[in-house]
Each structure stands twice: as C-alpha cells, then as structure tokens.
Structure 1
Amino acid sequence: MLPTGSGKTEVALCLADQRRNGVTLVIVPTVALAYDFERRFRDHYARQNRRVDPKRLHLAWTADTSEELRESMRLRLRQGKQPILITSPESMTRALRLLLMEAAGTGRINGFVLDEAHLVTQWGRDFRPEFRTLADLRRDLVRKATEAGHPSPVTLLLSATLGPFELGDLHRLFGQPGPCTLVAANALRAEPDLWIAAADNSEQRDAWVLEALAQLPRPAILYVTSPEAAEEWRRRLERTGYGRLALVTGRTNAIERARVLAGLRSSEESPASVDLVVATSAFGLGIDYPHVRTVVHACMPETVDRWYQELGRGGRDGNASAAFLLTAPKDRREAEQLTTKVLTAETAYNRWSDLWAHRRQFGGRSFVDLEGSRGIAMRGSYNRRWNAQLVQGLVESGAVRRLQVDAEDLAELAEESGQQRDWVGVEVLRGDLVNNSPFWAEHWVTWQKAESARSREALESIRRLVNGSLRACEAIAGSYRPDEKVRILFGRPADHTQPLDRCGRCPGCRRDAIEPSNDPPPNPMQKWPVSDDLTARLDDLAEAAGARDGLVLLTTDDHVAVMRRLLRILARRGVRHFVGPKDALDLAAEWLFVDPLPVTPANLTPCSSFIVYPPGERVPGTWLSPKIRRELRNDAPIAFDVLLLPRDVAIGGRQVGRDLPALDAVSALHVLGD
C-alpha cells in the first residue's frame, strides 16, 4: 500500500526482471490500463536493450487481441519467453485458466500481480465477481507449482487505497498459503490543494464549476456520477466554447477511450489534442498521466475513498495541482442512492429460489445465470448486480462456494436463444436455503445489517466533509485507519496504513490556521518473508570468523583492495543488502538493496547484508544486539550481517579483534573461494 505515483508498478517490474524464464502475470481492471502498462513496460525493456523493438513486444491480452497474436503469446508463455502478461480478471479466470495451470506445472509462473487490489472488494463483491475468483485461481497455481517441485509464484497485491475492510478481505482471500505480509507506507498526497463548497442549488453549483474550469490550469478532469450528467456537461461546455474536450463514461467504447487517452498525452511526435475530460468514476484508474493539473467534482461521491482516488489523478508528476469538490442538494440525494442497498431476506430468498430452479448442470457442477431471475425482475445490468450481490452474500455467509469456470465450460453452456447469459458455477454448502428456512431471517439479515451499516458510515463521512464539520484530511485519514482486526492480522506494519491528518491544504485546515505540513516520507518496518533462494550461504565464513548470532566482523588496512572483491563474491553467495560509500557500490547489474551510510540495524532488510565502514566512520554499538538485528527477520531463514571495518575500530567500547572475534578480509576471501 503506497501512495499514487510512488512506485508500485516498479515493484512489479522488479519481480518480473528478478525471476527469469517465466511469466509474471499482471491483472488490471480496465483495457485502457492494460495498454498503458504495456506502453510503460515496453519502454522499460527498450531502455534495457537497445536492440529491442518495443512495437514487437506484445504484453497485453485483451478482448481486442487477435487470435493470431493470442496463439503466439500462448506459445511464448509455454516456452518461458513471455516475461509479462497483462490481462483482466475475466481472461485470467476463464480463457487463460487452463493454459496458466499448465504453465504453473512446468514452473513458468513467476509472479501473480494484482493492480488496484482494492477493487477485489469494491467491484468484486458486486458487478465483477471474477475479481474474487482470482483468489481461487491463485491458490490453484501455487499448489500446481509446488506439487511439481517448482518455486511458488510470488503474489503482489498493489493499491494506494486500502481501508480496514479491504485489508481484511484481501487477507481472507489471498492470505493462504502464506506467509502474507503487509508493506504499507501511506501518506496524504502533497500535490493537491483541496477546495470544497456546497451550493444552495444546482444553478449556483453549475456556475461555480464553469468559473473554476475557466480559471484553473489544464489538463483537467471534470468528474460526475452518472453518464447522463456527463453528457449534459459536455453539451454545456461545448456551448460555452470548449473545443479540446472529451467524454468518457461506462458507455464509451474501447476505441474512443483509447483516443481520449492518446489525446491527453503529449509528445514531440503527437502533441496533445485534449485538455479537458468529462468523466465518470473509472476514467484514469491507475493510468500514469503525470501532468493532470486540476480535478473538479460536480457531484458528491458516495464515499471519501472514491473522492480521494479520483482527485489523486491530478499532480502525479509531483507538482502542484488543484482539487475542487462542488456539490448541490440533489448531489447528496444521488450519493445516498448509490450507497449499498442490500436485498431483504424475503427478496433474497425469492431470487435464490428462482436462480436455483433454473440452474444448469454440467460436468457434475451446478451453474446459475446472473442475468436470470425470471418473473421477478427484468433482465439487464441492474438485475445482474442484485443477483451478484445475492451470490456474494451467500458466499460470505458460508452457504455457497463459487467455482471457477473455464472458457470451454461457458462455450458448452452457451445457448442459441440469443439471450445474454452470465453463468456462475456454485456449490451449495448448506441444505437449508429452500422453503424460506431460518437461514434467511438469521444469517442473511446479519450480513444485510453489516453491509448497510458500513455503507451508511461511509456516506456520513463524506456528508460531514462537505458541510465542513470534518476536515478533509481527517476524513481521508479516517478512511484508512486500521481497526483491531487489521492490527491483529499484520501487527506493526498496520500503523502505516493511516496517513497524518493535518495537511494544511484543505478548507478545514485553512479555517483552523493549520500550516501545510512538511510530512516526512513514511519509514515503516521493512519486513517481508525471504524465500530460500534468497538466503545467503555464509556458514563457512561465519565459522572462520568466530561469528555470534550471524554477525561477521572482517578487518582490513586497505578497503580499496578487498571491498570490490568481497562485493562480487558475497552477491554470488546470496547477500542482497549492501551499504557503504556510494561511489564504491558499483552493483547496478545486480538485483540488490544498495544504501549509503549511515545505516543501523534498525534499517536492515530481511536479507543478509554487507556493510562497509571506512576509516573514521563511527560504528553504532547496536550492531552487537541480536534482538535488534533479528526484529525484521522473524519469519526469515538465518541472515548474516558482514561488517568490513578498519583494524583499530571499536564497537560499543569493545575492541574488534581483541574483545570481539574478527577475521582478516584477505583470509575471508580465501574462505569464500575468491
């Protein structure tokens, strides 16, 4: 969990580049984001190797990918020549599932990366349930790989916005097989100045929006809630005289979305043609457009989280940006309508009875149609969302288990009736879902109340933010405040999910004369599990040096003569963290952690380290504390800390070589086989 623009994508790239001869799967929520990632990853590989033609690197698998290209990607994946595959949850769990299982069995799956992981909860529990079946697929891939004797794929869940409910949900779905580690370094975005005003009527609010757009820097995004409102704003802005204008809503097709995104981006070959986009929520999700200067909301988002996600699409280049939230009374009613409405027990029972009565049996499994529910509601997306909620509620209540569905299964289930179907495989775990049993009045109602309460609390926070009774930064921080369950699951790292709540850049802070804070970068515990293939093999060196608790002390009169030789051989032996004079650490070709001095044991990674102390540099006495050095390594195999020191140095008042056992650095090279 890192703030927008702070490098989550680079973490995924590191995983892909560290583990060769296999594929790192990158799952994204939108086609636009898939192609944006493909562009960024192509640039990365072209910088690494000038002979690479970026246009010949095909990394994205979408609905628009031709069958010829798909077949080529399948072959490269089987051969271990496809370093990254970017695709959607639907493709992962359906069209690609059998191929990926085959690849896992041959050790070809290196990594499983889910970008915008908060959508597993926010979209997956409603209209895109495939986000949640990713957890089942991931477990199957891990099991297939380990049963065949291959390393387990590393799973990365990436997001800038994970509240306590999302964190608990992700841990429940993806936490096993573990270990499961939280790396969180949340901070309030420093770029946007926040401005919030509630108008008395729609006419006043619309006048404010027009005035703001006329004055504020561009590129800019105007966010609204519904496609109808977006269309209305586009017509109004066109009449006002805006020409470099575009519209993106859920009704916009993929070709037009791509055109808008390309129009926003500026380069020497293709200058920008768009500087104002009217959009609904999903526009810009995760896409790296660093130069957006202004985000205006002409609506009231239903949650603080949604608002913060959307305003975060401005200022990603680190420069100042503006975020305006301008509301009217009807916007508040619209936000209330968007809060989670949960089926009553009676309606849920009736819907389930209808879905189950019209199920299909195939391959010994049961399938229900989310587009169905005959005689209760019209077919369509709204009906589908109710049915998706019903199935999800039954899953979370322990009554039903969702099954994975292959593309081949769906083809067999297809009908010639021409009606749209959305078949979901389910296994009923309880026998009391029929005849309006007590299950619905007890378990369903309990789930219903919890869902409704969470949604009401979120709406109340955005209401208080708009009316000024809650500072915006307080509301944002509160959205990511860890609860007791999250603290139990993740321990101290959970402290870094909540940013500081005194920004100095929102209306409440300006009213209270709070100056903009010089918020230092978060510095959380750098703790994660280390796999066996990253464990240093230094037992022989530790024994020769008389090391205690993994602390190996080497001494020398000539750092220059031995340092580089030690760097190379220790890297080959599995040491991954190197610390010392910056100009001496020439390790750009290695996948390592490299830091300048000073570093103390509290700053170590879970990997083994090599720390170079030149003459005159003080060596902290905390190196002699095994407890401090082990704090970040509770779940890791034994790690070694190798210190290269001048001969006459003391640590904590104890002389190295006299009071503390040490080994000459040249002798150490002989022990290591150099």
Structure 2
Amino acid sequence: MLQDALNRWPEPYARGSGLVVSDACRRTLDALPHLGTVEAGWRDLACLIRQVLITAKVTYAGNPALTVPAGPPWPTSAQWEAVQCAAGQIVGGLRAVRALDWAPSSADDQAPAAELAISQVLAAYVDADPDLTNLVEADPFWTTAHRYEHYRGEPQRQAARAAVLNDGGSLVVALPTGRGKTAVAWSKALLSDRGVTIVVVPTVVLALDMERRTSEEAQLRGRELSPHGRFAYVGSLAPELKRQLRDAVRNGSQRLLYTSPEAFVTGLAPALLACADAGILQQIVIDEAHLVDQWGTDFRPEFQIMPGLIREAHARAPASKKPSVLMLSATLAQRPVELLTRLFAMGEDPVSVVWGSEIRTEPAYFLTNHLDERARQADVLEALSCLPRPLILYTTTVADAEEWVIRLRGAGLARVESVTGRSKDDKRRTVLERWRGYQTDGEDSPTSLDVVVGTSAFGLGLDMANVRSVVHACLPETIDRYYQEVGRSGRDGRPSVAYLCSGPRDGRIAASLNDVSMIGDKLGWERWRRLLQSGVRLTDLRYRVRKSTLPSYMLEGFGRSAQWNVQTLVLMAQAGIIRLRVPMFIADEDQSLEAQQEARTTFNEQIEDFIEFELVNGVYQSEHGWREALGRVRDEVRTAQGAALASLLTLVDGGACVGRTVARHYRVRIDGGSFGTSPACRGCPACRRAPQASPGIHPPEPCPPLPSPRAGGDAMEPWRSGNASLFAWYDDGDDIEQLLVRLAQRQIHVFWGASKKLTAKLQRAVTQSPIIRDDPDSATPLIHTYPGPIAAVLSKPELDEDIRERVRLGLPTYIVGPKDTPDPGKPGWMLRDTADSAISAASLLKGL
C-alpha cells in the first residue's frame, strides 16, 4: 500500500476503508501529501519510512526496501544516511531505501552488549500484540460490570475486589500502569444503578479523555450515566452547564463525574456535601494519588485540601451510606504512602492498602552523559531520527522545550509540537488529537504530529497506549519523575525504548528543583500567628482565614504571599497541627432572606481567597511545639526528596540494574510490615554488560491480600452465636440456590467451592451486590487469607482441610453442605450434631 502511494506521489492517494495498517504506515500516509510544506519536513518522511521498513523486517523477516522519489523535497543521499538508512543509486528519478539497525551509542557498545542493545531497540518495532500470560479468571461482578472474562493478573483482581468490597472506608491501591486502574475505579458505579462517583484527576486533558471513554461506555451499554451526556466538570464549561452538573450531583443522576482538585474543593463542594447528606455519594476516587505529596506540598495545595472536604462529606453521610474513598497510583514510594494514610483516614478506621506494585517490563533503558551541550543535542537529534514513533521528548524547563521545538523544525521535523506548563487547555487537547489520530470525542482524524516535546506534567494519565519511545534531554530531579515519564511508553504491553541523554548543566538544575522551598520557623510562625489573629472563628476550634492575609513583616504581598500562607497551612496539616477544611457558606438565621442571599453572593465571589482549618493538637500551639512539629515535616520532605534524587543518580551512573534500582525505591514499610516491589528489566547498561545477572521480564507477580472489612460488616454474625462458623445443612430437594441468594443479599460476597455457573447465577440474582468466586487456582485463595465472611459451599459430604483451618483461625465462615457431612474430628458423628452453630438450610432460609 505504501509503495503504491509513493509511486503516485505527488498525486493524492486514497487509502481504502477497512484496511488495517501499522501505525507507522498510517502516519507515513498521513504525512506524505504534505511533504515540502510546513506540515511535513524531509526528516519526518525519512524517519517514518525507516520505521515502516524496520517494522516489516522484524515482524515478517527479510530486508525490505521501498522505492522513493529522488528529487526535492525528498531527502538527499546524505540525509537518508543521517537517519540510518541506505539509499541506493538514482535510477529513473527513483532510489531504493533500506533501513539500518541502530541503537543509542554508549560506553558499552562492544559486542555482545552492542548486539543486545540493537535487539532490544528492534523489539520496539514488532507489530504484534504481546501474549498475555498472566490472565486470571474474572469474578462474576467483574464480568457483569465490564463484560470482561479475565483480569489482567492477580494484582488487578485483588485491587478490583478490594474496591468493590470497600464499604465507606479509605483504600490505597498501588497497581502498575496498563493493569486497568480505570476499570477498578468504575466497578462500583457500573455494578450499581444509583449513587454518585466523583473522580479527581490532575489535568483537564485527562478529565476530557475520561469523559470520552465514559461516554463510549454509556452508549455501548445503553446506560444513562449523566442526564446531560457530560462527565467532565472543567473550567471551560459554560456556567449554565456547570450548574446543571452540580444539580445532577445533588440529586444523584450524575453517576460519574471527573474534575480537578481545584474545582473539587471550590465549585463542586456544596453539591458534593448535599449529595453526601442525601446518602447517594457512593465513591470518591483520587487518580494519580502520588501527586497529593509530589504536587500538593508545593504548587497545587488543593491536593491536600481535598481530605478536609472528603472527611466532612463522610461525616455528614448517613451511617449506612458512607462514601468509599479510593486512591490509585502506579508509583507510590514511602513518603506518599505515609501521607495518604495519614490525611485520608476517615473516622476511626485506618486507611487500607492493596500493594500490587510491579516494575514495568516494556522499556529497554539507554543512558548517556555528555560534558558538551552540542554533543548532547546531536545525540538527541539522532535518537529522534532513529527511534520509533509516537515519541515523547522530555525537558525540565519550558524554555528548553520551546528551544527544542525550534531546533527540531530547523532540522527537518515539522510534525513536532510542545506541551508545557504554559500551554492552555485548548492547545493540550489539540496536540493530543493530532498526535493520537483521533479527537477527544473518539472520532478518527489524520495524524499530524509524531513527536511531542513536554515538561513533567505532559502525559500524566495519558490514554495513549502505543507510545514507542521516551527520550530525556534532561536529568529529572527525582527517580519518581523519571520512572513516571518512562512509564508513558509501552502501555499496550509491547516493548518500548527509554533513552536518557544528560548534559553538563543538568545536575545543577536537578538538584535545584529537588530542593523544595519550605518556609522557615521564624517567618512561618509569624505568618501563622497573623492568620490566626485575623481569621474568623466559626466554632471553638474552626477558623476561616484569607489566603491573601499579609504577615506583620510585609507591607504588600507581591503576589506570592498567598502561596506562602497556603503552603504554611499545608505543612501544618501534614504535621498534625491543624486539619484543612473547605470553606462553606453558613447562613445567619437572624438575617432576612434577601440579606442571606446577598451574603451568599459575596461569599461565593470571595471563596477562592478563603481557607478554613480546625485546630487539632494543643501541644503544637506553642511556638516551641509548632517549630518542632514543622521541623519534623520538613525533614521528612527533604529526606524523601534527597533519596529520590540519589536513586536517580545511581540509575544514571549505569553501574546497577535500572529495574533493581527502581524496585528498591518503591519498597515501603506500613505499620511494621514491608511491601516490596520485585525487580524486572528488559535491558539496561548493567544488564547488557552482564545479561546472566539481569532480573529479566518475568518477576513473581504479587498477590496482595484483601483488607479486613470495616467493623460491623457481617450482617449474618448473630446467626453464628459468637462462633467462627455456622453450618447450614441441606437435604435432597432443598433450594440451596435461594439460600445462597439470601446470603448474598446480606452482604456475604465471597463464595468458596461454588461453580462458575452458580456464582454467575447469584450475580444475576443480586445484580448490584458484588459476587466473588474464590478461585481454587489462585496463588493465595481467599479461603486462606480473607478476614471477612465467606460462604463455603460443599458439593459433597466432606469438610475440606482449608475450611477446617479457617474455622480454627476464628475467621467468619458460613458452611453450606449436605446433611450427612461427617465431622472429621469426631469419627461416627455428623457435623450438624457437633458444630457449635448448626441449622437446617430450610430453617435458615425461612429465618432470612
């Protein structure tokens, strides 16, 4: 097809509908009509044709060639060589082009390391879906909610189970990128037909992306998840539509809504609390939860104001209808986990953690360091010319990103654009559409970008599965940032390439950015006292202050004072001195309705300058206690930041396996227990030098245990009469299925020993209550590990040792078995006669 289009050039070529081509071929066909214009340069076409040739070679074997025009605007022989292609002699105005193997240069470019490097780069071109060897059987609720017959591994299975079993508590889930965190977050909403789920995402582009996916899901299922067909509450919406969405949250008709932390704690807050008051706030999801620490401590404090609003919503909801809180991330190190478990604890219940952390196996890592900036620029340009697209080039500063775009366009790459912190939402959305080849609403469109130059926020939560290469023309300030950015490639499970090319100034820049600015004791104490003195006391312990309040040592704010005030309060909240709350209008009942409305209008106009907090610990109200508490937090932040930079420098040094270095960083301790992350590495300098020592790409898969249910989570407990188990015996002809349905209706969710067919029938019968089938082939069956109630269904009169051990451990178990099931501990006796609690199935069914 591509050769046919090349033969016809410059005549237009119409690709037939329904024809499936590789992404590289599609991009080449999209670029071809624009060659020689500002929309496609010679290097764009040369790079794409090179990718098509290598894709064909590694996917179908052989050494293919394409015949291309030889005159301008097509590349010259020297330009083909610059992108690692061999260009044949010109015959009849045409030349044959073949692609050469290439890998980034390094100090370890001697065989066999060089051969391994080339093979690892070539693997990123293979046009074939990976074999998914880690699929595990889906639970009935998962199939009902998503129509999936499998989970993508044990970590997703346990995360999904924990999410639907989370009844009004807070849950942190560490789950690798590409393992379906979105489906985990959706499960509760899609399984039920009422209740509101609010999903807080870090960027507007991600909110709009999720709106598109949710809209597609709603149409596919014929479900109305929003009365307005909109799912993203963002600043660009018309005021009237915002009002309609808030009203839909209040009355529960908006089943799913995506928003930013800023909108969550301001415009949406009253609707959220009203929803909680009505008992219809089902779930709050914090996506990319590591940013509560990484961003919330510094430049977006709303990430850490969220817990106050969530805590208030949780407190105001009826006792039996508390909202669940779900925090999702693929990259949780020690400090973020500690902060999340501290800030998001609701009531007396601790935050639960499901640790399914795994190291990405898709990237092959390449690392070079340059003492000369020009040499670095030359290597980056060569990498961008030879690595597969779609490709992201990361820089640290906005200025560097903009300079790289100019540099690349001057080198013949027109299909390149930047996204930085200065980019407006419209530009971000447009760049993504042009890069991916489909619009935000899901409609296909031609690609017009292959390379995006971005700073750290670009790609966060990106729904772009086929990014093949990530290049860094910088040194990130933490290993977290580097690993998150590398993780934006290979989300389709296919191999990718990660190339970090550092330069002479990068170390100083990284160290500077790593040093988080935090207010000192003297100035911080003065700010705190000034805020407290100038604030409005709402209750004995609750205050409302203005962010714009100036401390006594400042006569004017210069635009930064409000940020320092908020940062001071955020650090105090982390130290346990205060709890941040969301400002809420309180009507003065002694005023007329007209005066109340005027006061509400004034409040709404000024709300963005307000912040509220509660005093928590009187010990810290003295200057000495205050300084001591904040000092601890500063030390924690600086220690965590320093460790993250030190880990990155170890990685960049190239002496140790990248996968092992990353795995060590993502090892945490919680409540005395250790949560590890197994190393994995498809290739890095250390592993290419000593492949026999590489951890490889098949690490043991974690199987995290399910958290304990909240207190009072077993409605059947009275039937056990204080014992660990209840034996319900049935006779021939008894309606066992109906008994199991009744158990499921009373919040028994886990069934051991029941067939797939039977549990599927149970799910259809109870629809909105999750049914979990304990998979006997699981690495750790729930019968061994789940501390909540389980129904064990005996298919024959025999008490399995697994059930006996569970009962000995005192774990709640409801055994449903034949009448003549013997007691293995008392030969000659029937279990119905010896069990501490036993009842006939018919009597139990009647009682229920």
Q: Superposed, which structure 2 residues align to 1:405-416 within 5 Å?
A: 405-406=583-584, 412=603
Tell me: CA distance 1:601–1:88, structure 2 relative to 1, closer, same or farther (3 Å): closer
Counterpart among 319, 327, 339 of residue 157 in structure 1:
327
Q: Retained in 1: the 8 A contact 2:175–2:330?
A: yes
- Residue matched to 1:136: 308
CA distance in 2, matches of 1:132, 1:265: 33
Deviations 1:625-648 (A, max 9, x none): 136765xx6xxxxx4343557978
1:626 to 806, 814, 819: 806
1:225 aligns with 2:396: yes
Indicate the SS of the match to 2:232: coil
SS at the partner of 1:552?
Answer: strand
Q: Note if 1:521 corresponds to 2:691.
A: no
C-alpha distance in 2, partners of 1:505/1:629? Answer: 45
RMSD: 4.2
List runs of 5+ in structure 1 lacking aligned partners.
634-638
Looking at structure 2, the residues matched to 293 and 373 of structure 1 have their Cα atoms a distance apart, in angstroms, of 54
1:308 is matched with which residue?
A: 483
Write the distance in 2 (CA, Å) between the matches of 1:656 and 1:45: 56
SS at match of 1:290: coil
- Residue aligned with 2:547, SS: strand
The residue type equivalent to 1:310 in the other structure is E
Given the superposition, is the C-alpha separation of residues 481 and 235 from structure 1 closer, same or farther in structure 2, using an over 3 Å criterion?
A: same
What are the ranges of 5 or more consecutive residues in structure 2 without an aligned counterpart? 1-173, 586-598
**Aligned counterparts of 2:620 and 2:842: Cα–Cα separation in 1:** 70
* Structure 1 residues 584 and 226, CA gap change in structure 2 (3 angstroms): same
TM-score normalised by L of structure 2: 0.67
Provide the rounded CA distance (Å) in 1 between the counterparts of 2:556 and 2:510: 24
**Matching residue of 2:421:** 250
Q: CA deviation at 1:161?
A: 1.3
Structure 1 residue 508 corresponds to structure 2 residue 686: yes
User: 8 Å contact 1:294–1:314 — kept in the other structure?
Assistant: yes
Indicate how the Cα distance of structure 1 residues 613 and 59 shifts in structure 2: closer, same or farther if over 3 A, else same.
same
Kindly report which structure 2 residues correspond to 1:330-479, keeping only aligned pairs within 5 A, or say none. 330-343=505-518, 345=520, 348-349=523-524, 352=527, 365-369=544-548, 379-380=558-559, 386-397=564-575, 402-406=580-584, 412=603, 422-425=609-612, 447-479=633-665
- Aligned-partner Cα distance in 1 for 2:579–2:751: 48
* CA displacement 1:490-532 (0-9 Å, x = unmatched): x4xxx44x31135353322333322414213211112232575
Larger radius of gyration: 2
- d(CA) in 2 for partners of 1:33 and 1:371? 36
Q: Distance in 2 between matches of 1:612 and 1:199?
A: 66
- 1:156 Cα offset (Å): 0.9
Matching of residue 123 in structure 1 with residue 295 in structure 2: yes
Whole-angstrom CA distance in 2 between matches of 1:27 and 1:594: 31
Does the C-alpha gap of structure 1 residues 659 and 445 become closer, same or farther in structure 2, counting only changes over 3 Å?
A: closer
The amino acid that maps onto 2:467 is: V
Letter in 2 for 1:93: V
1:172 corresponds to which residue?
A: 342
1:296 is aligned, of 467, 471, 489, to: 471
Matches within 5 A, 1:628-643: 639-642=812-815
Work out whether residues 577 and 593 of structure 1, in 8 Å CA contact, stay in contact via their aligned partners in 2: yes
Q: Is the 8 A contact 2:527 2:551 kept in 1?
A: no
1:557–1:647 CA contact under 8 A, matched in 2: no
Matches of 1:550 and 1:367 in 2, distance apart? 57
Secondary structure, counterpart of 1:237 in structure 2: helix
Per-residue CA distance 1:229-281 (angstroms, 9 max, x = gap) = 11111111212222322211011100111112222334573243332111111
Deviations 1:603-625 (A, max 9, x none): 56455444556579x97412201
In structure 2, the partner of 1:13 is 186
Give the Cα separation in 2 of the matches to 1:643 and 1:429. 49
Pair 1:608–1:290, CA change in 2 (3 A): same
Report deviation, 1:365: 3.4
Equivalent position SS for 1:190: coil
- 1:189 deviates by 1.0
Deviations along 1:90-123, whole A, 9 cap, x unmatched? Answer: 1121112222222211112111211111111111
CA 504–264 in structure 1, closer or farther in 2 if over 3 Å, else same: closer
Alpha-carbon offset, residue 453 of structure 1: 3.5
**CA 1:292–1:652 in 2, change beyond 3 Å: closer, same or farther?**
farther
Deviation per residue, 1:199-236 (Å, 9 max, x gap): 23222222222222222221111111111111111111
Q: 1:551-575: per-residue Cα shift (whole Å, max 9, x none)?
A: 53657889xx967555545433433
1:235 aligns with 2:406: yes
**8 A contact 1:94–1:406 mirrored in 2:** no
- Seen in structure 2, the aligned counterparts of structure 1 residues 570 and 446 have a Cα distance that, compared at 3 Å, is closer
Aligned equivalents of 1:211, 1:55: Cα separation in 2:
51
- Among the aligned pairs, what percent are the same residue? 32
Q: How do 1:83-98 residues align onto structure 2 when only pairs under 5 Å count?
A: 83-98=255-270
Deviates more, 1:237-246 or 1:53-62: 53-62
Shifted more, 116-125 versus 566-575: the winner is 566-575
Q: 2:314–2:323: 8 Å Cα contact kept in structure 1? A: yes
CA–CA distance in 2 between the matches of 1:440 and 1:562? 65
One-letter code aligned to 2:671: R
* Alpha-carbon distance in structure 2 between the residues aligned to 1:614 and 1:549: 21
Q: What SS does the corresponding residue of 2:708 show, helix, strand or coil?
A: coil
CA distance in 2, matches of 1:259, 1:315: 22
Deviation at 1:366, TM superposition (A): 2.7
SS at structure 1 position matched to 2:461: coil
- Per the alignment, residue 382 of structure 2 pairs with 211
SS in 2 for 1:329: coil
**Contact 1:293 1:320 (C-alpha < 8 Å) held by counterparts:** yes
Which amino acid in structure 1 is aligned with residue 302 of structure 2?
A: E
> Partner amino acid for 1:512?
A
Deviations 1:474-503 (A, max 9, x none): 3212222214xx233xx4xxx44x311353
Equivalent in the alignment of 1:74: 246
- Asked whether the 8 Å contact 1:31–1:254 carries over to 2, the reply is yes
Counterpart CA distance in 2 for 1:182 and 1:103 is 26
Q: How many residue pairs end up in the alignment?
A: 641
Residues 524-555 of structure 1, C-alpha deviations (whole Å, 9 max, x = no match):
112232575x6454866x79xxx973253657
Q: Which amino acid in structure 2 is aligned with residue 352 of structure 1?
A: R
Distance in 1 of aligned mates of 2:619 and 2:215:
53
Partner Cα distance (2:392, 2:827) in 1: 63
Match of 2:165 in 1: none
Contact 2:791/2:814, CA 8 A, preserved across alignment: yes
2:214 is aligned, of 20, 38, 41, to 41
- Change in CA separation of 1:33 and 1:174 when aligned onto 2, cut-off 3 Å: same
SS in 1 for 2:283: strand
1:636 aligns with none
Once the two structures are TM-superposed, the CA of residue 357 in structure 1 deviates from its matched residue by 11
The 1-side partners of 2:724 and 2:529 are apart by 65
CA contact (8 A) 2:189 2:256 kept: yes
Indicate the SS of the match to 1:183: strand
Say whether 1:593 aligns with 2:772. yes
Query: CA, structure 1 residues 654+137, in 2 after alignment: closer, same or farther (shift >3 Å)?
Result: farther
Once structures 1 and 2 are overlaid, which stretch shifts more, 589-598 or 51-60? 51-60
User: SS where residue 296 of structure 2 aligns?
Assistant: coil
Shift of 1:40: 1.9
